[in-house]
Amino acid sequence: MLEASAAGEWVLIHDGDAVGSFDTFDEAAARAVEEFGVGSYLIRTGGVVTVTLPASVVFGRTG
């Protein structure tokens, strides 16, 4: 997967497919607008693991 192998780069994703990797967010955004207009796409940093935490951990609340 391109996203996993593009550590430290910005990855453009459209319809679940990695379109390409870019050195800067601005480069990825320019390509996204050029190819997809104001459509739906995702730009994220490659090689970063996403961690989801429960609200109780984030806000420090317990039962």
Please identify which residue in the block is written with the tokens 């192998």: 5
pLDDT band at residue 57 under the 50/70/90 scheme: confident
pLDDT band at residue 2 under the 50/70/90 scheme: low
Half-sphere exposure of 31 (CA within 13 A, CB side): 19
pLDDT band at residue 28 under the 50/70/90 scheme: very high
Question: What residue ranges do the domains of the chain occupy?
Answer: 2-59
pTM check: above 0.75: no
Q: Quick one: tokens of 21?
A: 């990797």
